[in-house]
Amino acid sequence: MFKISLQLCVLALALFEVVENRVIVQRSTDYSIHGYLTERICWWNEICKEEFQSQFKCKCPEWSFCRAPGRYYNAFCSMTATGYIWSQPGLRGV
């Protein structure tokens, strides 16, 4: 019985090491955009930045991210922190 318990512990530790060394969340954060076309809060899943634009369309709520599948795609407000994340500055007066 002790031998089986010991083997299970060793197996659990080995699996933990494999999971710990994997990259679970892949994301890239971009801080290059500093302004807004309109200073308003976006709706959930609304386009917050259009591709090839130098300003954000709107600001995502605090609990979401302005994210896209890559740098040259439209970005949407999403709660998922994976993909290409556009860091948004705060709005003035809000």
Taking the C-alpha atoms of residue 3 and residue 22, their distance in angstroms, rounded to an integer, is: 29
CB atoms within 10 A of CB 65: 24
| pLDDT classification of 27: cutoffs 50, 70, 90 | confident
Tens of pLDDT, residue by residue over 48-87, are 999 999 999 999 999 999 999 999 999 999 998 899 999 9
The whole-number pLDDT of residue 15 equals: 47
**How far, in whole angstroms, is CA 11 from its chain's centroid?**
32
Top-confidence residue, 21 or 78: 78
Can you tell me which residue has the tokens 């994976």? Answer: 82
Answer yes or no: are the C-beta atoms of 41 and 73 closer than 8 Å.
no
The whole-number pLDDT of residue 14 equals: 52
- Is the pTM higher than 0.85? The answer reads no
